[in-house]
A = this chain, B = another copy of it.
């Protein structure tokens, strides 16, 4: 390779990555809406000019590639698609699902080059796009900005790999690790942190609590603030683990509100993995957030079934008997990695992953 060719090649790599991150920003708009599908974004460039963009809005609706192609056509760039480059955060699908394969749509539109982020882990697609596209004379390059795209797709990649939802443990505690403030106040977090918690619910397909939480707090477990719009978003499933279904109050909000049909009870569960399998297969749940008390949280940790940890830390020191995680040593200590902290009003939110995603 000559020096000029080398330089052109490294400039193209840089351009490709920037455009993939642009597609990733679009993908973020679909978070919380697309399960059991992944949130995916796509942009189309012709001669360094953006001519179309789109993202996957909802399972059953067109994929990001189709949205971007249609966007280009709608904007009068249909003829420019021939020889254009499409950037998509996930390998285009190559088999018939609810919609025809995107590879065919790309070929039909005359796209000259396909750049994607993450190889589809789904056996029906994995690597399939490359062969199909190349056979049709389309240039293909995968694994561009792969780390960022993988990190973004963690919950879905986990669900495809394991057949179970990605489990996020959400806890709110004082500086000294209590979940009830001195004097018995259950409201720990300030307004800004609570809004963030509702945005976490928006990202989730389901929220899990224990029967004890239903009895003592009567939570609604719905998204009520913190998000711009609920358009395209259903309220999360409410999953209750209880030792005694009969003993739950019949008039609890989750049994009586307008979303009562989205409340699912499990009694005396011992096979947590079996429930996770069912939640993914039957309800299409990709992200499950635990909002349970410390005793049930312990059970999830002991079974090593938590992937992500989000802790709201509020500025109180008060002692007390209700610990964020009661009891003696866990059988195996968990360690968080890839940690982040952010301030919301007077609260801090610290989050991390319990297992580095492979």
Contacts and interface: CB of A to CB of B under 8 A. Distances in A.
A13 interface: no
A291 to B, nearest CB: 16
A156 B91 CA distance: 62
B315 A352 contact: yes
A318 B330 contact: yes
B328 A317 contact: no
Nearest to A317: B334
Nearest to A342: B341
Interface string A151-181: 0000000000000000000000101111001
Contact of A339 (B181, B339, B348, B350): B348
A350 B321 CA distance: 23
A203 to B, nearest CB: 21
Copies of this chain in the oligomer? 2
Contact of A309 (B317, B329, B337, B346): B317
Contacts of A329: 182-183, 318-321
B323 A177 contact: yes
A136 interface: no
A218 interface: no
A315 B311 CA distance: 11
Interface in A308-358: 309, 311, 313, 315-321, 323-330, 332-337, 339, 341, 343, 346, 348, 350, 352, 354
A109 interface: no
A337 to B, nearest CB: 7
A298 interface: yes
A129 to B, nearest CB: 38
A73 interface: no
Given A182-B333, A337-B346, 12 more contacts: A175-B309, A176-B324, A176-B325, A177-B323, A177-B324, A177-B325, A183-B329, A315-B339, A315-B352, A317-B336, A319-B327, A341-B343
User: Which A-B residue pairs are the 8 nearest by beta carbons?
Assistant: A177-B177, A182-B333, A318-B333, A315-B336, A176-B325, A182-B329, A317-B334, A319-B330
